[in-house]
């Protein structure tokens, strides 16, 4: 005799309907809520506040305030090059990554001070001590860097024709975007940079859901959710399309060989191909995101110093 189980009150079809009625709202809430929450976190990084003083670094430091080109109040630190006129007012401004701040970058840039360069560090909008309600990971931060360059050009101890920019991660995209439209930036170093914000957004969008079938489309709601927080379609920011405008000013691109997260080695190679001459590309063996300096400090500093020495060389004295 064959036995069969039957529930007189709940058919298989009713079970499916019940599961859908209960589960579908949660799925929709997750689908809508995850990109909104994730984009909020990216646009509002935790503020890490730090200060830079002569007591901290053993050299004079001037804390200043200035404005981005759209009026956002920013805080910066001017550190004059050791030896006074050794570099004749040559200056390098550093653009930091998301979630960090200007003072934290001094340990990375100190070798340029020792080489005689003025170094200018600042907090981007929505970071550290600066104003601003949200970050855009690039496009609005270009206005911060343009404001920093304008401030530097107003100083009597800075040669306005010898200003270079150096950036890491978010800041690397910023220096490309700023230099593309600002000829006062005479040379750039871009470390751990992304090529295309829309692609970056897709990578951020499926972090944590790589095995789900919706991973490729997640960047679309992320893109528009971020517009809610910033008022900018930041996915339209494409350093790979901007970098060609920088030449004939020199470009140095640095990228870790093992950096395959939001910013990839293929991004660095695409940017290098798109850049005009003169240009250099250093793919750093074994380095992850932003780790080239920590892994090879001597070679890193030698390469960056040599690059700026050539790009920002003081004019020969008149006979």
List beta partners, residue 168: 191
Residue 159 has pLDDT above 80, yes or no: yes
What Å distances lie between residue 90 and 77, 112, 187, CA to CA?
Answer: 16, 10, 11
CB-based burial, 280-312: b 16+ in 10 Å, e otherwise: eebbbeebbbbbbbeebeeebbebbbebbeebb
C-alpha span between 224 and 26 (Å, rounded): 21
Q: Quick one: average pLDDT of 256-282?
A: 95
The rounded percent of the chain whose pLDDT value lies above 70 is 78
Q: What tens digit of pLDDT does each residue of 98-135 get?
A: 999 999 999 999 999 999 999 999 999 999 999 998 98
Q: Is pLDDT at 22 greater than 50 in this prediction? A: yes
Rounded to 5°, angle at Cα 129 from 123 and 132: 80
Least confident of 139-153, 199-213, 231-245, 262-276: 199-213
- Give the length of the chain: 319
Write the DSSP symbol of residue 258: T
- Predicted confidence (pLDDT) at residue 297 exceeds the cutoff of 80: yes
At residue 198 the predicted structure's pLDDT band, cuts being 50, 70 and 90, is confident
Q: Which CATH number fits domain 50-196+238-311: 2.20.25.90, 3.40.50.10170, 3.50.50.60, 3.40.50.1820?
A: 3.40.50.1820
DSSP conformational letter for 234: G
d(CA 201, CA 235): 7
Residue 217 has pLDDT above 50, yes or no: no
Burial 72-100 (b: 16+ CB within 10 A, else e): bebbbbbbbbbeeeebebbbbbbbbbbeb
Does the global pTM surpass 0.75? yes
Instruction: Give the residue, 216 or 171, on which the prediction is more confident.
Output: 171
Residue ranges per domain, the chain?
16-45+200-235, 50-196+238-311
Interhelix angle 170-181/141-153, nearest 10 degrees: 60
């Amino acid at each position: 005799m064959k036995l069969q189980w039957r529930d007189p009150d709940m058919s298989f079809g009713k079970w499916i309907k019940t599961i859908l009625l209960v589960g579908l709202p949660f799925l929709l809430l997750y689908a809508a809520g995850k990109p909104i929450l994730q984009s909020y976190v990216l646009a509002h990084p935790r503020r890490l506040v730090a200060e830079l003083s002569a007591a901290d670094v053993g050299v004079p430091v001037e804390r200043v305030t200035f404005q981005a080109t759209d009026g956002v109040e920013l805080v910066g630190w001017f550190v004059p090059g050791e030896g006074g006129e050794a570099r004749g007012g040559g200056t390098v401004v550093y653009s930091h990554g998301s979630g960090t701040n200007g003072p934290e970058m001094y340990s990375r840039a100190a070798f340029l001070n020792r080489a005689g360069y003025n170094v200018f560090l600042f907090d981007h909008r929505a970071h550290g001590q600066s104003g601003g309600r949200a970050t855009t990971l690039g496009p609005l931060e270009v206005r911060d860097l343009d404001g920093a360059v304008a401030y530097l050009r107003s100083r009597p101890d800075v040669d306005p024709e010898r200003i270079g920019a150096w950036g890491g991660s978010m800041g690397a995209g910023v220096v490309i975007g700023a230099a593309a439209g600002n000829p006062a930036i005479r040379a750039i170093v871009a470390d751990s940079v992304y090529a295309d914000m829309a692609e970056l957004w897709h990578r951020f969008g499926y972090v944590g859901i790589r095995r789900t079938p919706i991973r490729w489309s997640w960047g679309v709601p992320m893109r528009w959710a971020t517009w809610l927080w910033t008022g900018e379609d930041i996915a339209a920011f494409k350093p790979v399309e901007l970098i060609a405008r920088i030449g004939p000013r020199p470009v140095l691109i640095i990228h870790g060989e093992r950096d395959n997260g939001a910013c990839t080695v293929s991004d660095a190679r695409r940017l290098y191909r798109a850049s005009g001459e003169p240009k250099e590309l250093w793919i750093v063996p074994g380095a992850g995101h932003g780790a080239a300096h920590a892994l090879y400090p001597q070679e890193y500093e030698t390469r960056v110093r040599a690059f700026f020495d050539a790009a920002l060389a003081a004019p020969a004295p008149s006979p």
